[in-house]
């Protein structure tokens, strides 16, 4: 039997050690990292991979797209799919900066607590994504919006940045993201006055919401924070929290989900999707939608 190979395309100077470890643990025997990959190179690289093996051997050949730019990763993903010439085709999985699997786990964990603790669905709820213009924040916003939540992505400094990001991804995926800026406590308090769900995807080690802000919220039901580096992005959420009462939100019955609980699901999602590339009889093409469906399945 031919050895399994995963070709890992990355536009950054280095491929992610996290993704390399995950791919090995999922069962790929040979990993071939390519860095500084340009979009225009994806077509030829993909065809080099597919035409070098018989259709039977291609079942054990895959392509992983990384990087940090979510839009570029999506373009590379599309270019790889378009390069296939059936029956010469291989599976492709895009997960730039782990954004798709992390966002999927975050939204699914929050969705689960929303159902269990409050009997509600994301559809019809109002959600805010802090750090909403970064890769994980954008992916979180898209997933939440497509799930039916009235979703606003927040930039710390510039409304234009959030508005441009929302417009771009609304066009690409048919979601309905809104945009906001919140630099100061008073801005955040105003933004959160009627919010049901908070997703915190800001940079590690930066506290976005403090106790003073949380004491003013009245409608909040669930808050999820992916920040595993102290201080927490949302004060009062511990890394291991999973539906734990949010102690500083004293005017509502909100619960929090911490980074380790989210990370555990993210790990399972990425492992499962990578493994599925080796198990399938026909090529699979995996992005944030598949990651979210897998996270929901895991949490059931």
Name, in order, each residue with C-beta under 8 angstroms of 149's C-beta and a sequence gap of 6 or more. 122, 123, 124, 125, 126, 127, 197
pLDDT band (50, 70, 90) for residue 1: confident
Residue 231, preceding peptide bond in cis (omega within 30° of 0) = yes
In the chain, residues under CATH classification 3.40.50.10280 are 5-94
In the chain, residues under CATH classification 3.40.50.720 are 102-262
In tens, the pLDDT along 105-154 reads: 999 999 999 999 999 999 999 999 999 999 999 999 999 999 999 999 99
Q: Is pLDDT above 90 for 176?
A: yes
| DSSP bridge pairs for 85 | 88
pLDDT band (50, 70, 90) for residue 93: very high
Angle at 151 between CA 274 and CA 262, to 5 degrees: 40
In tens, the pLDDT along 181-204 reads: 999 999 999 999 999 999 999 999
In tens, the pLDDT along 281-294 reads: 999 999 999 999 99
The phi and psi torsions of 230 (rounded to 5 degrees) equal -60, 145
**What average pLDDT is seen over the chain?**
97
Per the CB < 8 A criterion, the answer to whether 125 and 283 are in contact is no
Class of domain 102-262 as given by CATH: alpha beta
Residue 94 Ramachandran class (φ > 0 left, ψ -120 to 50 alpha, else beta): beta
Name, in order, each residue with C-beta under 8 angstroms of 240's C-beta and a sequence gap of 6 or more. 258, 260, 261
- Give CA 145 to chain center in angstroms: 13
Class of domain 5-94 as given by CATH: alpha beta
Structure tokens at 121: 């669905």
């Amino acid at each position: 039997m031919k050895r399994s190979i995963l070709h890992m395309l990355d536009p950054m100077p280095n491929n992610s050690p996290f993704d390399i470890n995950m791919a090995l643990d999922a069962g790929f025997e040979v990993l071939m990292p390519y860095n500084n990959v340009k979009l225009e190179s994806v077509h030829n690289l993909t065809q080099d991979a597919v035409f070098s093996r018989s259709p039977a051997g291609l079942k054990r050949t895959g392509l992983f797209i990384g990087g940090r730019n979510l839009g570029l990763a999506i373009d590379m993903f599309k270019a790889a799919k378009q390069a296939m010439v059936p029956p010469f085709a291989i599976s492709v999985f895009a997960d730039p900066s782990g954004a798709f699997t992390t966002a999927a786990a975050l939204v699914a964990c929050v969705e689960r607590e929303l159902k269990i603790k409050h009997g509600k669905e994301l559809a019809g709820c109002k959600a805010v994504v802090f750090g909403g213009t970064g890769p994980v924040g954008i992916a979180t916003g898209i997933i939440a919006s497509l799930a039916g939540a009235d979703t606003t992505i927040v930039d710390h400094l510039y409304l234009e940045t959030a508005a441009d990001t929302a417009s771009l991804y609304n066009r690409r995926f048919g979601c309905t993201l809104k945009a906001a800026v919140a630099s100061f406590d008073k801005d955040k308090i105003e933004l959160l006055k009627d919010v049901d769900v908070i997703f915190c995807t800001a940079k590690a080690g930066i506290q976005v919401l403090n106790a003073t802000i949380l004491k003013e919220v009245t409608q909040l039901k669930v808050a999820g924070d992916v920040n595993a580096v102290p201080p927490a992005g949302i004060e009062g959420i511990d890394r291991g929290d999973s539906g734990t009462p949010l102690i500083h939100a004293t005017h509502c019955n909100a619960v929090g989900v911490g980074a380790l609980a989210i990370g555990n699901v993210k790990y399972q999602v990425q492992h499962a999707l990578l493994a599925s590339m080796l198990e399938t009889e026909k090529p699979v093409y995996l992005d944030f939608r598949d990651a979210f469906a897998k996270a929901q399945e895991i949490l059931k």
